[in-house]
């Protein structure tokens, strides 16, 4: 697909400087883009490439001042990063809209219902009473168990497994290899030392506008639902245990793990490889630094913690600063001891 600068400016509400008829057919990073590609400049650290790039069109901020002439056609917008992201989203949607129909071989149970303008890829499996909303895309090799519901304009990427009874909302994206609704880790110890499995009869509910990365595992509830609320964004390689609730617009980075029955508030940020114990609450707006281990509830909204066990972020920084000064403090202490000793032995 090709677009002119004038067409792109209309989509992102920008103003063209240069040849409005120049066209592009793909995207490129500003430091390596070639003719026929579209790029953008949002970070001042990359400004030098604006004057070197071969990109045919570059999106820049309204307030960007030019220090020398540029070869590219420019499109000025209020926020270059957001405009470029919006353009990528529109481009992706146009490409995705071309995918419709049912590829063979695939298995769709006679009781399943599939909406309009949907795509079912080859080797996909749709069990009994599965419901697929209008405009959704089920890519090859996906598995949807009995009574799974998929909302409208949702994308299920290759190899995703969604177990029975789970509910996925509208405008959700789930990337390859993720498993939704596997059994929670529930076992009861018996007197003889063996472990008896506790049946996990709940489900998982993914609300609207959620994105889940590749190779995540989100376990079904023992009773009730594990819930990922609207707008949450989950990175790759996450473990969300049974009966967890993740609040609206919360962001969790890769390799984090959330233990069972923990309730995470809205607009929380959890860094990579962080671990959260079970049966606690994380208040709205909390920030958990990467590799932190959270062992008790965070009750005060908009606070930050770090370390393992995690504690107040500001206090942790002061402790780290003091720790770095220990060698110098040791030298000063020894000098004070020497002075005191000399004073004691004087007549």
| Residue of 282, 322, 327, 278 lying closest to 304 (CA atoms) | 282
**Which of 25, 109, 175, 242 is flagged as catalytic?**
242
Helix (H, G, I), strand (E, B) or coil at 251: strand
Q: How many C-beta atoms surround the C-beta of residue 297 within 10 A?
A: 14
3-state secondary structure 186-245: CEEECCCCCEEECCCCCEEEECCCCEECCCCEEECCCCCEEEECCCCEECCCCEECCCCE
Both tokens assigned to 260 = 């069972």
| Residue of 170, 244, 176 lying closest to 216 (CA atoms) | 176
Q: How many C-beta atoms surround the C-beta of residue 58 within 10 A?
A: 28
Q: Is residue 242 flagged as an active site residue?
A: yes
Q: Is 9 left (phi over 0), alpha (psi -120 to 50) or beta?
A: alpha
Torsion of CA 14, 155, 140, 161, to 10 degrees: 150
Both tokens assigned to 99 = 């995918």
Q: Which residues are catalytic?
A: 242
């Amino acid at each position: 697909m090709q677009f002119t600068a004038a067409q792109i400016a209309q989509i992102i509400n920008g103003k063209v400087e240069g040849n409005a008829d120049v066209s592009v057919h793909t995207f490129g990073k500003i430091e390596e883009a070639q003719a026929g590609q579209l790029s953008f400049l949002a970070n001042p650290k990359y400004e030098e490439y604006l004057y070197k790039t071969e990109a045919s069109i570059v999106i820049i901020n309204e307030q960007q001042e030019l220090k020398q002439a540029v070869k590219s056609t420019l499109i000025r917008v209020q926020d270059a990063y957001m405009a470029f992201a919006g353009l990528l989203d529109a481009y992706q949607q146009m490409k995705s809209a071309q995918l419709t129909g049912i590829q063979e071989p695939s298995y769709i149970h006679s009781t399943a219902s599939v909406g309009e303008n949907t795509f079912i890829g080859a080797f996909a499996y749709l069990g009994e009473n599965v419901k697929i909303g209008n405009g959704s895309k089920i890519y090859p090799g996906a598995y949807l168990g009995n009574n799974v519901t998929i909302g409208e304009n949702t994308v299920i990427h290759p190899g995703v497994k969604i177990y029975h009874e789970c509910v996925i909302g509208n405008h959700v994206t789930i990337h390859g290899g993720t498993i939704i609704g596997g059994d929670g880790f529930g076992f009861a110890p018996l007197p003889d030392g063996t472990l008896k499995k506790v049946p996990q009869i709940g489900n998982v509910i993914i609300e609207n506008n959620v994105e889940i990365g590749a190779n995540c595992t989100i376990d079904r509830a023992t009773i009730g639902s594990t819930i990922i609320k609207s707008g949450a964004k989950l990175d790759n390689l996450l473990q969300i245990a049974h009966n967890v609730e993740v609040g609206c617009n919360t962001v969790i980075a890769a390799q984090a793990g959330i233990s069972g029955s923990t309730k995470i508030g809205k607009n929380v940020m959890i860094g990579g490889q962080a671990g959260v114990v079970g049966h606690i609450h994380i208040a709205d707006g909390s920030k958990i630094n990467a590799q932190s281990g959270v062992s008790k509830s965070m009750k005060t909204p908009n606070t930050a913690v770090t370390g393992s066990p995690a504690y107040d972020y500001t206090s942790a920084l002061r402790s780290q600063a003091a720790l770095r000064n220990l060698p110098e403090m040791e030298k000063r202490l020894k000098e004070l001891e020497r002075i005191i000793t000399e004073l004691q032995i004087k007549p």
